[in-house]
Amino acid sequence: METIDKIKEQIAENPILLYMKGSPKLPSCGFSSQATQALMSCGEQFAYVDILQNPDIRAELPKYANWPTFPQLWVDGELVGGCDIILEMFQQGELQELIKETAAKYPSDAE
């Protein structure tokens, strides 16, 4: 499968998806750490892809997204942005609203 197809599939299959360095429990950079903390504070499950484990995605995603840096938050198939935007939205209460609305649209099997 082409890397771009893999990225499109991940974005399509995961309504809330964070491309990051490391994992939510063990982030490998400060920006990924701040982004996951903001997301976890929203109280909904989200998927993540560790770009350090996926160098092909790390190379291709910035071109596909037209966004040069990581982390990248994708919600409902749309790029929301990186760490600064995530934190700004969180501080204004917009992130929580977006995450809750999106999670409500896609009830998980766990519920």
The pLDDT score that the predictor gives to residue 109 is 55
Distance CA 108, CA 21 (A): 25
Q: What is the pLDDT of residue 98?
A: 98
pLDDT of residue 99: 97
For the record, the structure tokens of 44 come out as 């909904």
* pTM listed for this prediction: 0.94
List the structure tokens of 30: 């400060």
| Binding residue ranges for glutathione | 21, 58, 70, 83-84
DSSP tag of 43: T
The CATH H-level (homologous superfamily) assignment of domain 3-105 is Glutaredoxin (3.40.30.10)
- Token pair 């974005």 is found at 11
Confidence band for 111, pLDDT divided at 50, 70 and 90: very low
Q: How many CB atoms lie within 10 A of CB 18?
A: 24
pLDDT in tens, 65-110: 999 999 999 999 999 999 999 999 999 999 999 999 999 998 765 4
Q: Rounded to 5 degrees, what are φ and ψ at 38?
A: -65, -45
How far apart are the C-alpha atoms of 61 and 93, rounded to whole Å? 27
19-39 pLDDT tens trace: 999 999 999 999 999 999 999
Residue stretches of the annotated binding site for [2Fe-2S] cluster? 29
Instruction: Output the known binding site.
Output: 21, 29, 58, 70, 83-84
Domain extents in the chain: 3-105
Query: Whose structure tokens read 């996951």?
Result: 36
Residue whose pair of structure tokens reads 């909904």 in the numeric block:
44
